[in-house]
Amino acid sequence: MTPRKILFYIGLILFLYTCGKDESLNGSFQLSVSTDTSFAAIGDLIKFRVQTKSLGDNYLVIPQTQFNEPLELRHLEPLYNKNGKITGVDYVLSVWDTGMVVIPAIAVNVFKPDSTLDFIINTDSLEINVVSMVAKTGSQSMRPIKGPVPISRRWPIKTIILILLLIGILYGLYVIYSKRILTEYIEVEPVRSSRPADETALEKLNDLKDSKYLQRGEIKEFYVQLSYILREYVENSVYIKTLEMTTEEIKQYRSAIPFDRDQLGIWMDIMQRADLSKYAKSDPEKMICYEDLAAGKTFVKNTVPSWKIQST
């Protein structure tokens, strides 16, 4: 035998051996469907099984099947092999009409071990002969009523938790309410001052001069009091709500105040320095503070003729 023939036979043997070791599903995969009965009555439960064999390392996925009337799906349970792969599905069906009922074909998806789709195959359809209960049993008497089914009582955990939470909230409200500080309300009849606005303002300015704000270096507190006294004077004299207005708003509506322009300028300068002291932490010299206090007195005295009727 020549070496060429020897090589040919060796190659032929290797080819046949390789073909014999082919683990593809061609020629070996099996798909079957079956039912536990072909004759049923209305309301009976029918077990319908889809089962495969020789899947190898593949596995199958059966989509959620929608059965049309008169079939109704009651239960679905996958079938597993020893490797935990799905090899089939058990359906539990019920029928609600007589006649020849067809269980439709079901699409079976076969996947490779790497979760890629290998192929799709449809099952065969099966027919079930469905008759009435009278035709099946031969008796027209009513079937016995089933006895009561015991129901295991469970603790209403959710209700108990909500009740305990409500009790805790009510107890917390009671504790907070019991610790409240009782306020004694004393009805005081308001006393309206009959003194003119200028006299009240000048008296408060004199009291501010005698205060210790400037001696203690409390510039901000000094300007807070000075600004309030002058705003109160304007409000009580010409009845414009300057206590509720900002300095910018007073400047905007200064034309509504019946005072001389120069006097309004003095007041605006004092208000501006007061705002800088209150909000910008500006601390003018004590001499400027005394000058603003004197300017405030001058402002009050010089604006009196604008609103007060002088006695003759």
End residue of a domain, out of 116, 132, 148 = 132
User: Tell me, what's the pLDDT at 4?
Assistant: 59
End residue of a domain, out of 84, 110, 132 = 132
> Is this structure's pTM higher than 0.75?
no
End residue of a domain, out of 132, 151, 179 = 132
Residue 196, judged by CB atoms within 10 A of its CB (0-12, 13-18, 19+), counts as: middle
Report the alpha-carbon distance of residue 279 to residue 227 in Å, rounded: 13
Closest CA to 50 of 18, 87, 88: 88
Query: Is residue 311 included in any domain, yes or no?
Result: no
Report the alpha-carbon distance of residue 121 to residue 119 in Å, rounded: 7
Per-residue pLDDT tens listing for the chain (312 residues): 566 566 556 665 655 555 444 444 444 777 788 888 777 777 778 888 888 877 777 777 776 777 777 788 888 888 888 877 888 888 888 887 777 888 888 888 888 888 788 778 888 877 888 887 665 565 555 555 555 667 766 778 888 999 999 999 999 999 998 887 666 554 544 445 578 999 999 999 999 999 889 889 899 999 999 999 999 999 999 999 999 999 999 999 989 999 999 999 999 999 999 999 888 888 889 999 999 999 999 999 999 999 887 665
The domain tally of the chain equals 2
User: Tell me, what's the pLDDT at 115?
Assistant: 78
Query: Is residue 22 included in any domain, yes or no?
Result: no
User: Tell me, what's the pLDDT at 271?
Assistant: 94
- Contact yes or no for 300/201 (Cβ under 8 A): yes
SS3 for 111? strand
User: Tell me, what's the pLDDT at 221?
Assistant: 93
- Contact yes or no for 146/55 (Cβ under 8 A): no
Query: Is residue 253 included in any domain, yes or no?
Result: yes
SS3 for 57? coil
Q: Which two tokens stand for residue 176?
A: 């907070």
Residue 259, judged by CB atoms within 10 A of its CB (0-12, 13-18, 19+), counts as: buried
Q: Which two tokens stand for residue 236?
A: 């009580």
- Residue ranges making up the domain that contains 76: 30-132
- Residues 128, 201 within the same domain: no
User: Tell me, what's the pLDDT at 2?
Assistant: 64
Query: Is residue 210 included in any domain, yes or no?
Result: yes
Report the alpha-carbon distance of residue 51 to residue 87 in Å, rounded: 6
